[in-house]
Amino acid sequence: MALESTVITHGLPWPDNLETARRVEAEVRDAGATPATIAVLDGALSIGLSEAQLERLARTPDVAKLSRADLAICMSQRRTGGTTVAATMIAARLAGIEVFATGGIGGVHRGAGKSFDISADLQELAQTRVTVICAGAKAILDLPATLEVLETLGVPVIAYGQDSLPAFWSATSGLAAPLRLDSPAEIAAAHLMRARLGLPGGQIIANPVPAADEVPLSVLTPLIEVAQAEAEAQNISAKAVTPFLLSRLAQLSEGRTLTANISLLRNNARLAASVACALADAFPGCKRPGRE
């Protein structure tokens, strides 16, 4: 199964980024699947990184943040970058990988009516057939608007094991999720049915952050407003918005959002590994680690 790398290059601070990337890979292996962290290294679209490659990516400041628009140029110029949800989905599809775990997908930013800031992740979910396990869309976003756009694009938004939509650091957003599934086998079956119907896009599995590490929305909401106002005052725009808000919230929450982010990444990796195993089980000839 696939793992993204923008979370390593732009989402988490050094050295938590490397430590988390290693732990996330270990979670996947422990759950019986094979992790492939995806990134572009000196122009090579790399599906699965060695220990040394992972460390280099985590240590290098100022690498590119690659979405659909950036992937080909980064590769043709032999540069290095972390892949977002959109770019990781493209790479996973090319490699024949159908399940992918991340922290939180991008979405419609607050104030998008003026800024038009809507993540390319949403369009990608509409066209690339990969099941994306996340903890919902990041709570810094306009979640009702994000749900509306996903509905328009025909992307299934499926809460895992609960009725309400998770909101990244918070287990619930207070919004009802459009769909719900309760087991890896059900998620795998829905994924296969989309393929049988010839539907091109992916599905979003929104897996709530573990209760012990969640930061409730009541705590987060005022902090998000502060960080958002700072971003506007400092004219932060385009690719810089999400990394800025994530890092400011980690400071404003005194590390609580960082702890929640790490916890939800590990939790999503575990669920994605189980879904990958359930998918492999649907194909009797399909090899997976630990299977006879």
Active site residues: 4, 138
Among 17, 102, 203, 257, interactor with ligand PSU by CB under 6 A = 102
Distance CA 47, CA 28 (A): 15
Size of the site for ligand PSU (CB under 6 A): 18
Q: Are 207 and 271 in contact (CB under 8 A)?
A: yes
Distance CA 68, CA 128 (A): 11
- Quick one: 112 or 219, whose CB is closer to ligand PSU? 112
- Quick one: 27 or 117, whose CB is closer to Mn ion? 117
- Does residue 70 belong to the site contacting Mn ion (CB under 5 A)? no
- Does residue 104 belong to the site contacting ligand PSU (CB under 6 A)? yes
- Quick one: 117 or 213, whose CB is closer to Mn ion? 117
Q: Are 206 and 132 in contact (CB under 8 A)?
A: no
- Does residue 266 belong to the site contacting ligand PSU (CB under 6 A)? no
Distance CA 287, CA 292 (A): 8
* Alpha helices by DSSP H, the chain: 6, 16-30, 51-59, 71-76, 85-95, 112-115, 120-127, 143-153, 184-197, 217-233, 241-252, 256-281
Size of the site for Mn ion (CB under 5 A): 1
Name the minimum Å distance from CB 231 to Mn ion.
Answer: 12
Name the minimum Å distance from CB 292 to ligand PSU.
Answer: 36
Among 84, 128, 170, 274, interactor with ligand PSU by CB under 6 A = 84
- Quick one: 106 or 202, whose CB is closer to ligand PSU? 106
- Does residue 261 belong to the site contacting ligand PSU (CB under 6 A)? yes
Task: Quote the tokens at residue 14.
Answer: 């050094």
- Does residue 11 belong to the site contacting ligand PSU (CB under 6 A)? yes
Name the minimum Å distance from CB 147 to ligand PSU.
Answer: 16
Question: Which residues are CB-neighbours of 163 under 8 A, at least 6 positions away?
Answer: 176, 177, 180
Q: List the interface residues with Mn ion, window 86-125 (CB under 5 A).
A: 117
Binding piece for ligand PSU, criterion CB under 6 A, among 68-76, 142-150, 177-185, 239-247: 239-247
Q: Measuring CA to CA, how many Å separate 199 from each of 22, 97, 130, 155, 230?
A: 34, 17, 11, 10, 41
Closest-approach residue to ligand PSU (CB): 103
3 state SS of 155: coil
Q: Are 213 and 259 in contact (CB under 8 A)?
A: yes
3 state SS of 56: helix
| Interface residues toward Mn ion, by CB under 5 A | 117
User: Applying CB under 6 A, which residues contact ligand PSU?
Assistant: 4, 6-7, 10-11, 84-85, 102-104, 106, 119, 121, 239, 242, 246, 261, 265
